[in-house]
Structure 1
Amino acid sequence: MRIRPLFAVVAITSLFGCANDPAPTEQLKLTEQAVAQATAVGATDDEPDMATAQSKLAQAQASVADKSFKQARMQAEQAELDARLAEAKVLTEKSNEQLTQVNTRLDRLRKQLGAAQ
């Protein structure tokens, strides 16, 4: 008979343990990597998405310090996405610049070929 109350206490305790969110250490690592990668390709604080990513990452780190793990995870996920968006925008801009350069060279070559004929 005593086993049942003990079992109930253990079951309730384990349910409360599962309800708590663990610290989002892996998500924070992913976010920090995404911010570093965006910076590596040329994203700066001048770009709104990059500034937002860094701000949300700082908020996520503060939330971890406050043990608000669910909020920290959401902020870190948002920061990762903002950093990836900033990276994509920088890469797109660089690609467009390269495309413009190639088109300029092609136009120059066409003119040279047209003048040679």
Structure 2
Amino acid sequence: MRIQPLFLALALLGLAGCANDPAPVEQMRLSEQALAQAKAVGATDQVESLKTAEDKLERARGDMATEDYRDARMRAEQAELDARLAEARVLTQKSEEQLQLLQSRVTRLRKQLEVQP
């Protein structure tokens, strides 16, 4: 009769092992994609959120290597969001520069129109 409790304990341990978080392979891919997109629009290491994203993704890779999938998923999600923030900041800066250029052209045209009768 001692075999049943031992078998039950082993079965429970086996089930507990199955309950662990799965490897966040898809999230890692999304995070790498977000970093690549941020770099494609012009984000560099000078954009703080891009550097933060790269650091978090590197830590997530380390977590994957040690099979700490919960932390890997969390850091990969954070890396994706930081990369998207870097992309948004770069695009906002570019838009603001274009807006300033257009405003200066409009101002110059208005001055030219005022001078001519």
What range is the shorter-chain TM-score in? 0.7 to 0.9
The CA distance in 2 between the partners of 1:20 and 1:98, in whole Å, is 50
The CA distance in 2 between the partners of 1:93 and 1:115, in whole Å, is 33
Secondary structure of 1:81's match? helix
Which one-letter code corresponds to 2:52 in the other structure?
Answer: T
> Where do 5+ consecutive residues of structure 1 fail to align?
none
Q: Is 1:101 equivalent to 2:101 in the alignment?
A: yes
Residues 62-101 of structure 1 aligned to structure 2 (within 5 Å): 62-101=62-101
The CA distance in 2 between the partners of 1:27 and 1:51, in whole Å, is 19
Residues 1-117 of structure 1 aligned to structure 2 (within 5 Å): 12=12, 15-117=15-117
Q: Return the offset for 1:15.
A: 3.6
Which one-letter code corresponds to 1:114 in the other structure?
Answer: E
TM superposition score normalised by structure 1: 0.88
Which one-letter code corresponds to 2:79 in the other structure?
Answer: A
Q: Return the offset for 1:16.
A: 1.5
The CA distance in 2 between the partners of 1:17 and 1:71, in whole Å, is 17
Q: Return the offset for 1:19.
A: 1.8
> Where do 5+ consecutive residues of structure 2 fail to align?
none
Q: Return the offset for 1:68.
A: 0.5
The CA distance in 1 between the partners of 2:90 and 2:115, in whole Å, is 38
TM superposition score normalised by structure 2: 0.88
Identity %: 56
Alignment size in residue pairs: 113
Q: Return the offset for 1:17.
A: 4.1
Instruction: Please give the per-residue CA displacement for 1:9-32, whole angstroms capped at 9, x wherever unaligned.
Output: 797356414421111000000000
The CA distance in 2 between the partners of 1:46 and 1:73, in whole Å, is 26
Secondary structure of 2:45's match? coil
